[in-house]
Structure 1
Amino acid sequence: MEVKGMQTVVIVGAGPRGTSVMERLLAQHAQDSAAQPLHIHLIDPFPPGAGHVWRTEQSRLYLMNTQSFFPTLVPDQGVAVPPLAGCSFNEWRMAQQTDPWEQLSDDDRSELATLQTTNFPSRPLYGRYLSWCFEQFQHVMPDGVSLTIHATEAKRVAREHEKGGFVVELLDGPKLHADQVVLALGHVESKLSPVQRELRVQARAAGLTYLPPAVPNDVDWEQIPAGEPVLVRGMGLNFFDVLGQLTEGRGGAFEPTGHEAGEALRYVPSGREPVIVGASRRGTPYRAKAEVERYYPESVVLRFLGEDAVAAIRAMGATAGFRHDIWPLLHRDTLWAYYTTLVRTRPEVVSEQFLPELDAVLHSGFNGDGALWEQRLKELLAAHVPPAHLLELQGLARPLSKHVPRPGETHRFATREELDSAVLAYLSQDAAGSARGEDDPTKMAIGALNAGRAIIKSLVADKGITPDSWMGELRGWFEGFVEGLASGPPALRVEQLAAMVRAGVVHFAGPDPRFRIEQGVFTVSSPWVADEPWAARYLVEALAPANDVQRSESLLLQNLFADGLARPSVMLASDGQTVVTSGLDVSAPPYRTLDGAGVPVAGLYVLGLQLSSVQWGTAIAAEAAAKYRSGYRTVCDADAIAAAILN
């Protein structure tokens, strides 16, 4: 394939990120009639397009965390050269109704027959879309461009001193010459944390089953027997994947009850379910997404933390502190979203006369009198809003905190049953709020937080936040806070969970859980619950593998570090201590790795999860018709890499 004068590019990773780089290379090469011949090597043990996470044979119970209208592989803005082929997922979904792709499975066709714009697709169906895109790209390969697919892994990228460029070693032996290399590795295996390693060692010694963090489709769920308790640590998105496989995946079914949201489903067990006990720091699962027509609710307008505010900060040549400069703006936007929705939907509770006064208070306090505006806000709310309808942001993140111990007791819950009832009430209320969509004040406050997160992502990528604030404030507290509120599952999943709790299939351990191995079994207890700890022979970590390059099991990353072609990023904390971050140390876009001396490695590019040291939220797909810049940053990054390679 390769001839003299041909440029050779190796893309390591053929999932969405690697495929996006390939698409940008094809589009840009086609526009340049003088471009030299180009050969692309694509390396991935999994099929191109779908890659590892979006494999098309996985269970339909695994849902995407965004609706049909959201994801796209190809750019629709932010780039100068339009795509040669492909479209957004939603455009593809609609096209399949009249002109179905011959490679669709029967399950694909069944799902597509009922899937709507605002529904959440299954992961295998999204994988099918990615596979289709890859096929379309192959059909429009420009003259002078060729492609070789290697269904294996790369184990080393090293400098090729004689020819220049790099030599890429594959696991199965061959070596490839490359003028440039793109690392689009996606999710890779990770070493366990010290606590997890110790727990695994103790579990093996006691004959217990410990399932460490993993991509859910990589786990054999049949090893957890029916009827036995299983402890599930973590109640984020992976928690719902675990639930699905251990319940509906074993023949359980949901039936409509005819009641309103929050109590709309009944779970009918199959008898093959284990007894599932969920545990997390909050004590409750992530909040469900609101049922809305757009990713960012139309009624939510960022009046304080908009793109213009970020541009003003950058124009001053300044870097912002999150708590000092950013959070006060986003806090105001969140308050406005909540109370304007409350006034609109509950006029008997708060009159419209309240809003002009609130607006005035929110626009005050920008001249060093922050404490004064907060006091004015407190007085205004006390005068106009009944206590039951006040927005308590911290309470949203810790919903069980409103439960107080009875007189003379130190625990908030006397029994497991009391705790389960409290969590069930939270789940039912949350599902009902999601069903109200733009008419729910709490969900609109969360919508403002999510929109603000999009703005903050751009600020982070533009190096507009101080390293100390990035580590200690944004990632130190806000990231966990907003994830549990705005990154939750589809409302259907919370409705289903509530049904499982009512059926006695799922229970909860309580906030701040303590896991141990005692008397030959796993136990979990909570300082909030007076009852005996839960005990089980099985423990599942409902987490994805850590996205941390230092803990990575990737032989390729380990060799890059050993060969001095890459290093982890290090930041300086306010106390002068250095902190090693989770991502690679890279140059400004297009992101090149920095070698051991801190010099950018010409021709070695990074895209995706390993950019977590310079970007926030690297896992989410590119957004079709994105409202904010951060929504299409990933395709812009791919576009910049392609331009650097070809120019």
Structure 2
Amino acid sequence: MGGASVVIVGAGPRGTSVMERLLAQFAALRATAQGADRTLDIHLVDPFPPGPGHVWRTGQSRLYLMNTQAFFPTLVPDQGVEAPPLAGCSFEQWRRAQRTAPDATLSLADRTELAALAATGFPSRALYGRYLSWCFAQLLQAKPDGVTLTHHATVAKRVARGQGNGGFDVVLQDGGRLPADSVVLALGHVESKLSPTQRELHDQARTHGLSYFPPAVPNDVDWDLIPAGENVLVRGMGLNFFDVLGQLTEGRGGRFEPTGRGAGDALAYLPSGAEPVIVGASRRGTPYRGKAELASYYPASVELRFLTEDALAGLGATAGFDHDIWPLLHRDTLWAYYSTLARNGSGAVPAGFLGELDEVLHSGLDGDGLAWADRLSSLVGAHIAVGQRLDLPGLARPLSRYPIRPGETHRFSSQAQLDAAVLEYLSDDAAGSFRGEADPVKMAIGALNAGRAVIKSLVADDGITAESWMGELRGWFEAFVEGLASGPPALRMEQLAALVRAGVVHFAGPDPVFRIEHGVFSVSSPWVAGHPWASRHLVEALAPANTVNGSDSVLLNSLLEDGLVRPRVMLAADGEAVVTSGMDVSGPPYQPLDGAGTPVPGLYVLGLQLSSVQWGTAIAAQANAEYRSGFRTVLDADAIAAAILARH
């Protein structure tokens, strides 16, 4: 027994989580006779402050919101681990404490936000960063005897195997070198190469003197480069889209005011005159759906009766998504929808329907899927009006319900008609969000979201085949459920509707085609008649691509060149070898496999680079999580800490 040295590359939430687990486990070890004389040197390498790291910097705009409510995240574990935390608490506990006894480090903006923030509200990323800073400071104060902790405000360029001493040498951009027994890669978002299409637009833009904004962390972008009054094309209408909107509207002095009317039309936008004309474009043609207003992360009225962890445990390690998993989740989604429709007072569900539906849903579980589907169709067709039936494909592609009129070649004959259709979608979706537990569509989406948590555990436990992972789960379901269940707060949908009514935002239509024509960017849609939108400015409203092989990170590329890591290769259904986005790693604690396919002793990975073995890599654990996947980040950090301390 002796000393150990650890370098954690990346000091954002995941790297801080590993540090927290190391401190907690080391304290427990020091309390034993065998560990009383041990020492531990921890080095954090990150050019940004420990805790917030890059994404959660405390000085960023308050218009950048988290995508989870205040009651959700925690850096400090509340279940699933043996060693209790030495300091810190959940974000919600911190929020309540700071409202009554504010920490001296809080800014006026922090205090103002906290005064108005409820447990069900969506904090700004800056405020979450302040929480992470506070947690780090608390952990620093509570570190046990025998621990030294050093932050190196620089970039790690290379992790090389140690010369003759085992372990590693971590080479820093500032010229320093850190010898280490163990290294943890908690890199988060790293620089990425542009896709071929993006590269072509980027290069042509330079030729024509246009402004091309590649995928980026929104807080890294200088939004002042987009001039007032000019068109700006924005590709992507997921979460980053709303970040772009905020900076180009409220961020330029515009403001929203209540109208006194109902949900879906609750806000009016008063322009400042400094806004550009914003044109949103995405494959669906509409933004992600907004989150329901709920008092809990998963709806209280939704219970998974079919897609349970017990049911999946019986499938073994050869589960297929389409064959084994989706039929169960589909049943839960149907029940969530129609049971909500029955109790919301609309009168759309006749007496006795739910009993018959329950019988149908419990049939066909022996694999007779066709008979089950036929019975369901007959039952719903006989008792539920067409406009009240659950249409899952229609939820994902809402503009497809607009038919092509006889004699026309487009679904939308004008830009005004398209904008009106999207505005109707936004207003309806916002109204549904504010109905919360009473809205059948939002409860169906709630079931999908809960099912996603169960599936994440199945994937992390290696319980799904590679063919199904690539061709089914990530082939169609991922994009489907992301657009429904990973959207912004309902407030953002209300604000976007107000921006459309004010003429500040327009839409390009589904399946957009981007080009550079006549020296400017253009975007058109086969769904919409009329001239393409043209602009000198194009924003990619996307996060940088998370691909190990497509990274622009000096560190990741050196790891690949040195043979310390490799991307994971999977076999598709046709037998073709496919290079996936993430690293090839062992089981937990995740160690990268080297060029020969051997786990690298003492080297560990946590976070985004695990995208080929985990479906969805959370930035934080969920406080009081209902599902195991909700505290997976903590479990992974805990396993890494245990492996590090067991080596010495």
TM over 0.5: yes
Residue in 2 that maps onto 1:244? 246
Deviations 1:209-237 (CA, angstroms, capped at 9, x unpaired): 10000000000000000000000000000
TM-superposed CA distance for 1:366, in Å, is 1.8
Distance in 1 (CA, whole Å) between partners of 2:203 and 2:81 is 50
Question: Deviation string for 1:287-326 (max 9, x for gaps)?
Answer: 000000011000000000012112222xxx3320000000
Q: Distance in 2 between matches of 1:373 and 1:42?
A: 56
Native 8 Å contact 2:13 2:619 kept in 1: no
Q: Of 84, 89, 92, which aligns to 1:90?
A: 92
Runs of at least 5 residues in structure 1 that lack an aligned partner in the other structure: none
Q: 2:128 aligns with which of 126, 129, 147?
A: 126
Kindly provide the amino acid, as one letter, of the partner of residue 349 in structure 2: V
Work out the CA distance in 2 between the residues paired with 1:336 and 1:196.
42
SS of the residue aligned with 1:517? strand
**For 2:493, what is the secondary structure of its paired residue?**
helix
Structure 1 moving runs of 4+ over 6 Å: none
Distance across 2 between alignment mates of 1:366 and 1:480: 26
TM superposition score normalised by structure 2: 0.98
* 1:189-588 correspondence runs (5 A): 189-313=191-315, 317-588=316-587
Query: In 2, Cα distance between the equivalents of 1:166 and 1:406?
Result: 67
Partners of 1:470 and 1:94 in 2: how far apart?
Answer: 41
Q: Secondary structure at the match of 2:592?
A: strand
How far, CA to CA, are the matches of 1:609 and 1:81 in structure 2?
25
* Counterpart residue number, 2:179: 177
Mapped contact 2:317–2:462 kept (Cα < 8 A): no
Letter in 2 for 1:554: S
SS of match in other structure, 1:645 = helix
After superposition, what is the alpha-carbon deviation per residue over 1:35-78, rounded to whole angstroms, capped at 9, x for unaligned?
32000000000000000000000000000000000000010011
Deviations 1:110-146 (A, max 9, x none): 0001100000000000000000000000000101011
* Aligned amino acid, residue 171 of structure 1: Q
Structure 1 residue 367: deviation in Å? 2.2
Q: Hey, what's the Cα distance between the residues in 2 that align with 1:572 and 1:305?
A: 27
Say which SS state the counterpart of residue 32 (structure 1) adopts. Answer: helix
Equivalent pair of 2:619/2:633 in contact (CA under 8 Å): no
| 2:17 paired residue number | 20
Distance in 1 between the 2:329 and 2:610 partners? 25
Give distance in 2, aligned partners of 1:74 and 1:470: 31
Deviation at 1:621, TM superposition (A): 2.1
5-14 or 50-59: which moved more?
Answer: 5-14
* AA of the residue aligned to 1:628: Y
Q: Please give the per-residue CA displacement for 1:257-296, whole angstroms capped at 9, x wherever unaligned.
A: 0001000000000000000000000000000000000110
Contact 2:110 2:127 in 1 (8 A): yes
Q: CA deviation at 1:572?
A: 0.7
SS of 1:527's equivalent in the other structure is coil
TM-score under structure 1 length normalisation: 0.98
Contact 2:510–2:525, Cα closer than 8 Å, also in 1: yes
Residue 618 of structure 2 contacts residue 633 of structure 2 at CA under 8 Å; is this kept in 1? Answer: no
Can you list the C-alpha shifts for 1:600-646, whole angstroms capped at 9, x where unaligned?
00000000000001001114421000000000011000000000011
Distance in 1, matches of 2:73 and 2:565, equals 31
What amino acid sits opposite 2:583 in the alignment?
Answer: L
For 1:394, what is the secondary structure of its paired residue? Answer: helix
CA offsets, 1:491-548, max 9 Å, x none? 0000000000000000000000000000011010000001111000000000000011
Q: Deviations over 1:453-478 (max 9, x none)?
A: 00000000000000010001000100
Could you list the per-position Cα deviations for residues 419-477 of structure 1 after superposition, in whole angstroms to 9, with x for gaps in the alignment?
Answer: 00000000000000000000000000000000000000000000000001000100010
- Matched residue SS, 1:635: helix
Q: How many angstroms apart in 2 are the aligned matches of 1:388 and 1:160?
A: 67
- The secondary structure found in structure 2 opposite 1:597 is coil
Unaligned stretches of 5+ residues in structure 2: none
Mapped to 2, the partners of 1:359 and 1:318 lie a distance apart of 29
Query: Secondary structure in 2 aligned to 1:588?
Result: coil
Alpha carbons of structure 1 residues 347 and 417: separation in structure 2 relative to 1, 3 Å: closer
SS at match of 2:145: coil
Give the C-alpha shift of residue 5 in structure 1.
4.2
Alpha-carbon deviation of 1:81? 1.1
- Give RMSD over aligned pairs: 0.9
Cα displacement (A) at 1:347: 4.9
1:368 positional shift: 2.8
**Offset of residue 348 of structure 1:** 1.7
Residue 591 of structure 2 is aligned to residue 589 of structure 1: no
Which of these residues, 47, 50, 54, is aligned with residue 48 of structure 1?
50
Deviation at 1:346, TM superposition (A): 3.3
Q: Which letter does structure 2 place at the counterpart of 1:41?
A: H
CA distance in 1 between counterparts of 2:270 and 2:479 reads 34
d(CA) in 1 for partners of 2:452, 2:396: 16
Q: How many correspondences in the alignment? A: 641
Amino acid of the residue matched to residue 74 of structure 2?
T
Distance in 2 (alpha carbons) for counterparts of 1:477 and 1:448: 18
In the alignment, residue 511 of structure 1 is paired with which amino acid?
Answer: P
1:161 Cα deviation after fit:
2.9
Identity, % of aligned positions: 74
User: Whole-Å Cα distance in 2 between the matches of residues 297 and 5 of structure 1?
Assistant: 50
Structure 2 CA distance, aligned partners of 1:114 and 1:246?
24
Paired residue for 1:63, among 22, 42, 65?
A: 65
Q: Please give the secondary structure, in 2, of the residue aligned with 1:579.
A: strand
Distance 1:556 1:191 in 2: 14
Rate the CA distance shift 1:407–1:47 in 2: closer, same or farther, 3 A.
Answer: same
* 2:206 maps to amino acid: R
CA distance in 2, matches of 1:365, 1:356: 16
SS at match of 1:155: strand
Query: What secondary structure, in the 3-state scheme, does the structure 2 residue paired with 1:22 have?
Result: helix
Q: Which residue of 2 aligns with 1:615?
A: 614
Aligned equivalents of 2:66, 2:4: Cα separation in 1: 37
For residue 642 of structure 1, what is the aligned residue in structure 2? Answer: 641
What SS does the corresponding residue of 2:549 show, helix, strand or coil?
helix
What SS does the corresponding residue of 2:570 show, helix, strand or coil?
strand
The SS at the match of 1:600 is coil
The equivalent of 2:8 in structure 1 is 11
* CA distance in structure 2 between the aligned counterparts of 1:243 and 1:629, rounded to whole angstroms: 35
Aligned equivalent of 1:187: 189
Query: Take 1:483 and 1:192, find their aligned partners in 2: how far apart are those partners?
Result: 22
AA of the residue aligned to 2:149: L
Q: Indicate the SS of the match to 1:412.
A: coil
